[in-house]
C-alpha cells in the first residue's frame, strides 16, 4: 500500500505545486470576463426598464439600488458582491464611454489592481468587442 501511495502523493504535489498559482490567476481572469458579461447584461436590462444607462455618477450601484427619481426600476439587476472583480476591487464604469465605441465603459483593473484605463492587465468591454 505504501509503494502505491507515495507515487500518487508525489504526482498530486507535482501537479498542484508550480501550476496552482497559474491556475488560480487564470481562473480569476476568466471569472472577471464572465462577470463583465453579467454586468453588461444587467446594464442592458436597466436600459430596457429605465430608458437610459446609469450615469457615471450613479455608477454600477444603480443596478443594486434605485437611483433617486428613476422609474420604472425593476432591480436589483445584480447582487452587490458582483460589483467587485475576483481580486476584490470595484469594477470601473463610465457612461458615456470614454474609451471604446460602445455606450459605456466597463472594466476590471485586473490582477495588479492598477487603473491602466483598460490597458495592461485590465479587462474591458471595449477590448473584447473591438477584438471580435
- CB-neighbour burial class of residue 14 (10 A; exposed 0-12, middle 13-18, buried 19+): exposed
Residue among 114, 82, 85 nearest 27 (CA): 85
Q: How many CB atoms lie within 10 A of CB 33?
A: 14
Looking at residue 102, its pLDDT comes to 85
Look at residue 13 and tell me whether its pLDDT is greater than 90: no
What confidence tier does 11 reach under pLDDT thresholds 50, 70, 90?
very low
Asked if residues 95 and 54 have their Cβ atoms less than 8 Å apart, the reply is: yes
Looking at residue 12, its pLDDT comes to 45
Q: Average pLDDT of the chain?
A: 81
Q: What is the pTM of this model?
A: 0.76
Amino acid at each position: 500500500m505504501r509503494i502505491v501511495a507515495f507515487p500518487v502523493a508525489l504526482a498530486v504535489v507535482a501537479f498542484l505545486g508550480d501550476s496552482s498559482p497559474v491556475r488560480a490567476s487564470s481562473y480569476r481572469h476568466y471569472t472577471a470576463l464572465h462577470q463583465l458579461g453579467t454586468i453588461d447584461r444587467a446594464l442592458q436590462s436597466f436600459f430596457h426598464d429605465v430608458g437610459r444607462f446609469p450615469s457615471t455618477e450613479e455608477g454600477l450601484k444603480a443596478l443594486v439600488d434605485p437611483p433617486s427619481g428613476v422609474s420604472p426600476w425593476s432591480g436589483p439587476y445584480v447582487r452587490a458582491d458582483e460589483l467587485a472583480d475576483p481580486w476584490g476591487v470595484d469594477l470601473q464604469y463610465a457612461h458615456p464611454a470614454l474609451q471604446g465605441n460602445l455606450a459605456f465603459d466597463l472594466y476590471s483593473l485586473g490582477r495588479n489592481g492598477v487603473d491602466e484605463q483598460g490597458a495592461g492587465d485590465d479587462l474591458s468591454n471595449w477590448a473584447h468587442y473591438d477584438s471580435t
